[in-house]
Structure 1
Amino acid sequence: MSMMRGRGGPPQKAMQFGPSLKRILGLIAPDKWRITAVITMATISVGLSVVAPKILGHATDIIFNGVVGKMLEQFPAGTTKEQAVAALRASGQGQLADMLSGMNVVPGQGLDLAALGAVLTIVLCLYIAAFFFNWSQGFMTTGIVQRAMYRLRRDIEDKLDRLPMSHFQQESRGDLLSRVTNDIDNFSQTLNQTLTQVLIAVLTVGGVIGMMFSISPLLAGISLLTIPLIAGMTFMIAKRSQVQFAAQWRSTGELNGHVEEMFTGHEIIKAFGQQQQAIDKFATSNDELYASSAKAQFISGIIMPGTNFVSNLNYVVVAVLGGIQVAQGVITIGSVQAFIQYSRQFSQPLSQLASMINLLQSGVASAERVFELLDAEEQRPDHVPAAALAKPPAGRVAFDNVSFGYRPEQPLIKDLSFTAEPGETVAIVGPTGAGKTTLVNLLMRFYEIDGGTITIDGVNTALLTRDDLRSQFAMVLQDAWLFGGTIRENLAYGRLDATEAEIIEAAEATHVDHFVRSLPDGYDTVLTDDGGGLSQGQRQLMTIARAWVANPGILILDEATSSVDTRTEVMIRQAMNKLRANRTSFVIAHRLSTIRDADLILVMDQGSIIEQGTHEELLAGKGFYYDLYMSQFGEPLVEEVSQS
């Protein structure tokens, strides 16, 4: 269990942000025309939003000109602006004259409501149109992202089907589940939130800069000084938060793995009194996740206040210098109002870009974990063109000088050869670690052999597709696996087109029918994913019935009676004897009493067959099998004789 492992692992490396971002963009590439439409609509929306403040500044000028014009009623009717300016200078009011010279005012004329109404109507229409295009691109962006996530989940599902069995044995199930659920969800949310926001922010900055320069090159130049300040600050902060975001999602996977493992084995944990150790391990993992998450959020969270501080400084400078320029008649007050609005509009996307850094880093960290899964080494592809077996197969299975090792430098099986004739029952016995289950895994091609050949009816299994090969088998394992669903669905799992009569026949033959009918809903009883409510023996009988319904050509029984009581074992043996009739069967057993009637017994030790024969022949040889048998049945008899 993970609680027995050492803490931590190798130091978490910083994310490869650039290459990962390029790969992320590749996910949405199939929607090129939609992306083009999104960019077009975003550009129109930003363009309308950027133009509106300058037009709104004209409304301010109209109001201000009307107010000032009304204040100049002392001048005779028909006085022009130039005449009023000259008169003010002559009277010593030079500052007022300078301001008036930069305005489009008519002395004595008040507010022009018609002109004001026309300007406000134009601005309202611009904002409504900008909203429409912004909403449309947002709606389309959501579709683009969800289609990309659909394709990604489909690719993940296909990838899981192509991964070798060794990958699932080496990786934590909780971490694997976290990659295909939590990480994909986080990645999806990040992509949905940032895809167009980044585009709109960049377009807004570009458009606003152009409008600012059209109003006042001096004020625009001052505002541009904030860009390198914000960019430099963002880069320094983001660089330090990258590692923490990567560690955050790694810790999430480890914590999920621990929780899943503890939930699965909660009875064992309680039986051995290891609750506190499990709690301590959870607390340690939880503390690691808390620390990395807190650091990531705190460090990246500094970006937004920092950019706001720089933006506020820029706002103050623009307001002061703009006021001076209005007083000097260089620009109008409406232009200053528009520029201040542009200044805010300019700093807002910069702040948004800065605040999205933490989202991007978190999303890219999750994406990298998903990409690691997609890049994992796959099992060897099926042979093309593939061979085919007769259906049903005769069932002649032959191992010819088969060699295999989980690691090349540590061979487990060496030069293994034997033949199982059609309809024979082959029992495989031996001490723990002898290679019994490995032999079956090689037969099913869960692992690829390193040397030799395995044939079924003379056809090399390496030339068959895995689906075709495995469709010839049914397995009954020591771990009676049932899934969440009805009893009927569980029994028909091996052959989904099985009829009701075939399901009932299999249940009756395997002693399942009688206890199923005692349940309130009978065959429609819904089981939990661990078969809760059924005893271990009942679950085991159901797996035998499931194999019966599948009607396989070759049967594999792996320690099917090792965890049940004697009476249930007799029932299971009776069911298995019926199931094995006229089928080539491989039986792995520690209880040698269950394989006395086997046609061939293979005795394995350290990956090799050291003895083979029938039960009587092996006992007569008084070799390794004889010692195994006597260790189970002979010692109590010897002890009783000595005591008597």
Structure 2
Amino acid sequence: MPQAFDIHEEEALKPRGDPRLLRRLAGYARPYAGPIALAVLMALLVTVADLARPYVFKVAIDDHLLGFSQPLVEVTGLTLPPPLQERAVQLGDRLFVRERELPAGPVRERLAGARRRQILKVGGQPLLVDGVVAGQRDAALNRGRVVGRAGQGRLLVEFDGRTYEAEPVGADEWRRFLRPDHSALLRLGAVLVGLTMASQALAYGMTFLMQRSGQEIVRRLRSQLFHHVEHRALSFFDRQPAGRIVTRLTNDTEALSEMYTTVVVSLFRDGFILVGVIVAMARLDPGLSAVGLAVLPVVGGATWVFRAKARDAYRRVRVRLARVNAFLAENLAGMWLVKAFAQEPAQLARFDRENEEYLRSTMGELSVFAVFRPVVDFLGNGALALLLWYGGVRVAQGQLEYGVLYAFLQYIRQLFQPIGDLAEKYNVLQAAMASSERIFQILDDPTAIREPAQPARVPSRARGHVALDRVWFAYEAERWVLRDVSLEARPGETVGLVGATGAGKSSIIALMARLYDVQKGAVLLDGHDVRTLPLGWLRRQVAVVLQDPLLFSGTLAYNIGFGVDGAGPEEVREAARRVGAHEFIEALPGGYDYPVSERGAGLSAGQRQLIALARAAALRAPVLVLDEATASVDSETEQRIQAAIRSLQGACTVIIVAHRLSTVVHADRIVVLHRGEVREVGRHDELLARQGLYAKMWQLQTLERQAGRVAAAG
């Protein structure tokens, strides 16, 4: 029997190591290196725009909002460059320029010994102070007071124990003095708007490129995965439940999509932000930078601890979720059995236990993430508090400009934003790592029926001569299902395979189509070992009708022409007529366009079987295999199916696997299998005359039929 699968196999998955997985995932992104590189460049430009905004605010505050207190130099009588003329301020009959705006060169050299002035507000009144007040760099922290008069309308003002002469600045002069600042603030406002618009446009382009690239990567990966699954041997599907494979193709690939579209560029952008913020802070004020970054080692330690805890918590959640999904799939598929044995309460109790374990693991994961973000926020606010304390003292002492402190506060917020987002990104990354482990487990599965290295030359259609030459076969090592089996079906013959359940009948059918490979011996088609024949050609030579025929969603015409490329309406109708299915199809609403739901729901077992026979007839294969084709239908439907089978005989080699011996009575040869060995071979009457195993089976089924008729009559 095929190897059983483990519905809890996910629990046994071991991490392969993130670097190896990431390198393999990077290989799928390599064809899209151009768009990804452009998105990374956009992320860099977005970061530059974001880092520029706090600096623009710093300039606006220190140079313009509070810039009136900067030292002035009188330039009356000098010829100034045009840009400097526009920023010069007329106070009475004198012309002043802010010292920091003087360009390097002759003008600055000529004014090197000029007397410096400063405008400060004292009691709300702007005053032009003779000299520069030591430590009075920030007009917002003015500690001066008027202590007397010096004559000619001049005042005496005191700052930190020192007295200076000053003259009042009139309202009109004050407005003229501030006019250049108003213009500069307008320009800086435009710069801020431009930076914001550029940042948003670049972020849009970055997101679009990454979403497009990520979806293309996952589309290719999903196609590769489906192609890989399609080419696995049936032993692969014996070990892998369909629900697990569907999860790999949908949920797991979607987890990778989220990683490619959100995490990849975000990691670059976060790296740019971290480096950019540190560089910007260091250039503005190294001492203040050291204070602001003092908590980073603590953040690094917390992040390291979180990483280990989060991975363990996430894996526990995935394991528990896999158990819940497996339990649900198993019970939904077997719901009729649950109800038949009145096991609803017991199964509900089992589900509640699994669900409770999933809840506990989920709460454990939430607790890890719930602690990390507040810890990062607390440390970030701690850094802000340190900056406010240290920077505020320096501002009060006149050692630091207020705008620099404001920029630092903004930079610290930008610094801790990507660290705080790590929880979400790490969760996405863990989901992608877990999904990639499961996807690569499928992709690395070697279970495949491979094309021959040098395929034999074949005609367009085989003659239909099938033979098994001393075949040994096992689904699992040394547990032989077939033992030294030899049999033959010549072109045009009908051969029946009979025997008890587990005798190996269906295994022979699977070997003919090379769904499995033999361990010993050979399966031959027209004298060629099937392992030397092209797979596609081989499987077009063998049409199979199963006991439980599978119909795909679509129309009846689609299902009948399923195996024939470009099958036209007439070919479909002719195939249906050959097996006697045309009449009942025409009676259905829509006829051949009748919509078929999943697995053919809405059609009777006999109708589905006739559609399957029509599908085989449309293929016109030289070998027709019927695997228990009448086992699950009533006697009347069985007669119709047998009539359909007789209509196909003669045109091809027919191999019938049967439990009901009445199905093979007219076969040219009957092969009796028992425990994987051929026990008897002959025609129906010959085997009855031998009084062997076949005769006993016939007598037993005859008694069963008679008992059934008596019971029906009673």
After TM superposition, the score normalised by the length of structure 2 is 0.82
Post-superposition offset of 1:633 = 1.5
Match of 1:134 in 2: 203
Match of 1:198 in 2: 267
Post-superposition offset of 1:412 = 2.1
Match of 1:556 in 2: 625
Distance in 2 between residues matched to 1:223 and 1:75, nearest whole Å: 35
Answer whether contact 2:215 2:257 (CA < 8 A) is retained: yes
Which residue of 188, 202, 218 corresponds with 1:149?
Answer: 218
Per-residue CA distance 1:341-390 (angstroms, 9 max, x = gap): 11111111221234321221122212221121111123142112212432
Match of 1:287 in 2: 356
Residue 111 of structure 2 is aligned to residue 71 of structure 1:
no
3-state SS of 1:481 partner: coil
Aligned counterparts, 1:345-494, within 5 A: 345-494=414-563
Per-residue CA distance 1:27-52 (angstroms, 9 max, x = gap): 21221222221222211221122122
Q: Percent identity?
A: 30
3-state SS of 1:152 partner: helix
Answer whether contact 1:56 1:120 (CA < 8 A) is retained: no
Aligned counterparts, 1:18-33, within 5 A: 18-33=19-34
Answer whether contact 2:553 2:596 (CA < 8 A) is retained: yes
Per-residue CA distance 1:103-161 (angstroms, 9 max, x = gap): xxxx9654721222222222332232222222222211112211111111111011112
One-letter code of the match for 2:646? N
Distance in 2 between residues matched to 1:251 and 1:75, nearest whole Å: 72
Greater alpha carbon shift after TM alignment, 16-25 vs 481-490: 16-25
**1:228 and 1:595, CA in 2 relative to 1: closer, same or farther beyond 3 A?**
same
One-letter code of the match for 2:21? S
Post-superposition offset of 1:280 = 4.1
Match of 1:37 in 2: 38
Match of 1:547 in 2: 616
3-state SS of 2:598 partner: coil
One-letter code of the match for 2:185? L
Residue 282 of structure 2 is aligned to residue 222 of structure 1:
no
Distance in 2 between residues matched to 1:18 and 1:538, nearest whole Å: 55
One-letter code of the match for 2:160? G
Distance in 2 between residues matched to 1:640 and 1:492, nearest whole Å: 40
Answer whether contact 2:8 2:326 (CA < 8 A) is retained: no
Answer whether contact 2:627 2:658 (CA < 8 A) is retained: yes
**1:499 and 1:95, CA in 2 relative to 1: closer, same or farther beyond 3 A?**
farther
Match of 1:631 in 2: 700
Answer whether contact 1:427 1:587 (CA < 8 A) is retained: yes
Aligned counterparts, 1:238-249, within 5 A: 238-249=307-318
Structure with a larger share of its residues in strand = 2
Post-superposition offset of 1:8 = 8.3
Residue 408 of structure 2 is aligned to residue 339 of structure 1:
yes
Residue 209 of structure 2 is aligned to residue 158 of structure 1:
no
Give the paired residue count: 629
Answer whether contact 1:194 1:356 (CA < 8 A) is retained: yes
Answer whether contact 2:39 2:210 (CA < 8 A) is retained: yes
Which residue of 113, 121, 125 corresponds with 2:182?
Answer: 113
Answer whether contact 1:415 1:608 (CA < 8 A) is retained: yes
3-state SS of 2:189 partner: helix
Greater alpha carbon shift after TM alignment, 287-296 vs 312-321: 287-296
Distance in 2 between residues matched to 1:446 and 1:395, nearest whole Å: 18
Distance in 1 between residues matched to 2:708 and 2:561, nearest whole Å: 49
Distance in 2 between residues matched to 1:636 and 1:121, nearest whole Å: 95
Note the residue ranges of structure 1 that are not aligned, 5 or more in a row.
Answer: 98-106
Post-superposition offset of 1:9 = 7.6
Distance in 2 between residues matched to 1:66 and 1:196, nearest whole Å: 43
Distance in 1 between residues matched to 2:126 and 2:375, nearest whole Å: 52
3-state SS of 2:511 partner: helix
Distance in 1 between residues matched to 2:369 and 2:135, nearest whole Å: 57
3-state SS of 1:478 partner: coil
Match of 1:570 in 2: 639
Per-residue CA distance 1:198-225 (angstroms, 9 max, x = gap): 1111100100100111122122112223
After TM superposition, the score normalised by the length of structure 1 is 0.91
3-state SS of 1:412 partner: strand
Answer whether contact 1:304 1:355 (CA < 8 A) is retained: no
3-state SS of 1:517 partner: helix
3-state SS of 2:130 partner: coil
3-state SS of 2:587 partner: coil
Match of 1:55 in 2: 56
Answer whether contact 1:174 1:261 (CA < 8 A) is retained: no
Post-superposition offset of 1:10 = 4.9
**1:481 and 1:638, CA in 2 relative to 1: closer, same or farther beyond 3 A?**
closer
Match of 1:324 in 2: 393
Distance in 2 between residues matched to 1:23 and 1:459, nearest whole Å: 41
**1:302 and 1:15, CA in 2 relative to 1: closer, same or farther beyond 3 A?**
farther
Answer whether contact 1:179 1:253 (CA < 8 A) is retained: no
Aligned counterparts, 1:492-571, within 5 A: 492-571=561-640
Match of 1:298 in 2: 367
Answer whether contact 1:428 1:602 (CA < 8 A) is retained: yes
**CA RMSD, Structure 1 to Structure 2 (Å):** 2.9
**1:54 and 1:6, CA in 2 relative to 1: closer, same or farther beyond 3 A?**
closer
Post-superposition offset of 1:508 = 2.7
Greater alpha carbon shift after TM alignment, 559-568 vs 70-79: 70-79
3-state SS of 2:621 partner: coil
Answer whether contact 1:88 1:96 (CA < 8 A) is retained: no
One-letter code of the match for 1:64? L
Post-superposition offset of 1:340 = 0.7
Distance in 2 between residues matched to 1:477 and 1:387, nearest whole Å: 29
Answer whether contact 1:12 1:247 (CA < 8 A) is retained: no
Distance in 1 between residues matched to 2:706 and 2:214, nearest whole Å: 72
Post-superposition offset of 1:233 = 1.1
Per-residue CA distance 1:380-433 (angstroms, 9 max, x = gap): 421122124323211111111111111223222222112211111111111111
Residue 650 of structure 2 is aligned to residue 581 of structure 1:
yes
Which residue of 129, 132, 135 corresponds with 1:81?
Answer: 132
Greater alpha carbon shift after TM alignment, 118-127 vs 244-253: 244-253
Distance in 2 between residues matched to 1:483 and 1:554, nearest whole Å: 23
Note the residue ranges of structure 2 that are not aligned, 5 or more in a row.
Answer: 71-118, 138-142, 146-155, 164-172
3-state SS of 1:302 partner: helix
**1:561 and 1:165, CA in 2 relative to 1: closer, same or farther beyond 3 A?**
same
Match of 1:101 in 2: none
Distance in 2 between residues matched to 1:511 and 1:460, nearest whole Å: 35
Match of 1:608 in 2: 677
Tell me which structure has the larger Cα radius of gyration.
2
Answer whether contact 1:141 1:196 (CA < 8 A) is retained: yes
Distance in 1 between residues matched to 2:125 and 2:663, nearest whole Å: 120
Match of 2:305 in 1: 236
3-state SS of 1:230 partner: helix
Structure with a larger share of its residues in helix = 1
Answer whether contact 2:8 2:322 (CA < 8 A) is retained: no
Answer whether contact 2:473 2:483 (CA < 8 A) is retained: yes
Residue 17 of structure 2 is aligned to residue 16 of structure 1:
yes
Distance in 2 between residues matched to 1:621 and 1:57, nearest whole Å: 107
Distance in 2 between residues matched to 1:83 and 1:258, nearest whole Å: 78
Per-residue CA distance 1:449-508 (angstroms, 9 max, x = gap): 111111111111101122111111111111121111111111111224223223222223
Answer whether contact 1:52 1:123 (CA < 8 A) is retained: yes
